């Protein structure tokens, strides 16, 4: 159960998975239609990102209504939003792996009114 919004040039998917009574993960993806030019994709990106963020916010609110207090967000298909939610780039992941540190994926998300505890 999640959200899928299809537009002519892109599709947004967002899903929430609960872990226990107070933790959950939101997985979000943005996929553009094959064959779009760089210019077309740049023109579509702001609206696609906005739809993705609104869908993430909706799943976050539903998770909170179910008792969730800590959330991690994983974004696939949009590196800037992935980093916005605290995700690491592939280069950073490789550097961390090379030094033997544990990998963390996703990030904390929440509202200003409610402080968030890390999952």
Distance of CA 98 to the CA centre of its chain: 26
Pairing between β-strand 2-6 and β-strand 10-19 as defined by DSSP bridges: antiparallel
114 SS3 class: coil
Average model confidence (pLDDT) across the chain: 78
Enumerate the domain spans of the chain.
2-98
Of 113 and 97, more confident: 97
C-alpha torsion 104→49→24→69, nearest 10 = 100
pLDDT at 116 over 70: no
Q: What is the pLDDT of residues 33-70, one digit of tens each?
A: 999 999 999 999 999 999 999 999 999 999 999 899 88
**Which pTM value belongs to this model?**
0.70
Rounded to 5, what percent of the chain is helix, strand, coil? 35, 30, 35
pLDDT at 115 over 60: no
């Amino acid at each position: 159960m999640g959200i899928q919004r299809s537009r002519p040039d892109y599709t947004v998917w967002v899903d929430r998975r609960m872990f226990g009574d107070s933790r959950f993960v939101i997985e979000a993806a943005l996929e553009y239609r094959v064959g779009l030019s760089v210019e077309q994709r740049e023109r579509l990106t702001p609206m696609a990102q906005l739809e993705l963020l609104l869908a993430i916010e909706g799943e976050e609110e539903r998770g909170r209504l179910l008792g969730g207090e800590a959330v991690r967000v994983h974004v696939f298909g949009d590196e800037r939003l992935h980093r916005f939610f605290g995700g690491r780039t592939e280069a950073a992941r490789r550097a961390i792996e090379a030094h033997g540190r544990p990998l963390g994926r996703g990030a904390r998300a929440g509202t200003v009114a409610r402080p968030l505890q890390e999952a």
